[in-house]
Amino acid sequence: MSWSVSFSISLLWICIFSSFSSSSLASAVTLSGGCNKPPILFVFGDSNSDTGGLVSGLGFPVNLPNGRTFFGRSTGRLSDGRLVIDFLCQSLNTRILTPYLDSLSGSGFTNGANFAVVGSSTLPKYVPFALNIQVMQFQHFKARSLQLASSGTKNMINEEGFRGALYLIDIGQNDLADSFTKNLSYAQVVKKIPTVIAEIENAVKSLYNEGGRKFWLHNTGPFGCLPKLIALSDKKDLDSFGCLSSYNYAARLFNEALYHSSQKLRTELKDATLVYVDIYAIKNDLIANATKYGFSNPLMVCCGYGGPPYNFNVRVTCGQPGYQVCDEGSRHVSWDGIHYTEAANTWIASKILSTAYSTPRTPFGFFCSH
């Protein structure tokens, strides 16, 4: 029997959308009709944005109940349903993005491609699928697309399309979190931050040199609040919300460095637009005020094993034999201990679309609305 409080699916969505601010909904509606040209997006990152790249690239199995809420089947996403990037795409009335590595998708790449893959980081370089490898894959994708377009192949992205596209980067969490799980000290983890930032800067500059002019940069969330990391950590330096303080201090230092990097890039890349989005603030608010927003214990995993306080056991993870899963419609923040539920991703996307967490305050659809 499930240990969570159950709601019907219809009630879930009523609760989700009733929790949105009117300004967030207005932003989403405006963006849906705001593009006067087909939106094209390219995404670089880790499992927070992977729409199936791990499965396509490595054949790694991602089983049900992943995907149960919206898709009714596993799609390679580590969630019960849609990710934040899916909602951002849908706010523009464009298809959800096809993984770059998925040659059998059948939907093509007319609205861009997703290079994000589960487990990706900026370091070490030249391993599947580090950020610089994802950029190299993009460069190959672009060169091949232009070659096919010039030979008369229809529905290929042309030079203008690549120049007008949005380049979204959401990476860095694994660089920091994995360092902690490998027993590096706080000082050792923090010492790595400048190198990670430099890799992200290099990625932006490489994409700029390929013609990209519109960038959307997510900082990292409060990974010290991820149930898996709390359950496995020996430190237990917990704050008032039950999160690992040292992990979140490191996340904030990383975000501060990324913010200053984004300011520097704006001065260096004169004709580019670069939007920095404070994902940390959005997720921290959700965790700190989960009950206020209609969610249950934000540190309790929906799909895992072991019961309270975290329902996480590294030997029985989501989808593996013996796992337990909360009822469909349950108001959980954490899906599997690392990744968020569709309900939480919906809420997070609404905050991104509100522009309240963006510097400069820019609608998500700016790249296709003029």
Just list the catalytic residues: 47, 336, 339
Element (H, E) at 301: none
Residue the block writes with tokens 């013609």: 211
Which residue's entry shows tokens 């993009």? 138
- Residue owning tokens 């984004």: 262
C-alpha to C-alpha distance for 324 and 269, rounded to whole angstroms: 49
Tokens of 240: 């008032």
DSSP 242: S
- Angstrom distances, CA of residue 361 to CA of 31, 40, 201, 352: 14, 21, 21, 10
| List of residues 6+ apart from 328 with CB closer than 8 A | 6, 9, 68, 69, 80
Place of tokens 């060169």: 143
| List of residues 6+ apart from 360 with CB closer than 8 A | 275
For residues 87 and 93, what is the distance between their CA atoms, to the nearest angstrom? 10
Taking the CB of residue 322, how many other CB atoms lie within 10 A of it? 9
Rounded to an integer, what distance in angstroms lies between the CA atom of residue 77 and that of residue 260? 31
Placement of tokens 């706080």 in the chain: 186
Tell me the backbone φ, ψ of residue 41, rounded to 5 degrees: -130, 145
R_g over Cα of the chain? 20
Instruction: Please state, in angstroms and rounded to a whole number, the distance separating the CA atoms of residues 183 and 186.
Output: 9
Pairing of strands 273-277, 358-359: antiparallel
Q: Using CB atoms within 10 A of its CB, is residue 185 exposed (0-12), middle (13-18) or buried (19+)?
A: exposed
Burial class (CB in 10 A: 0-12, 13-18, 19+), 270: exposed
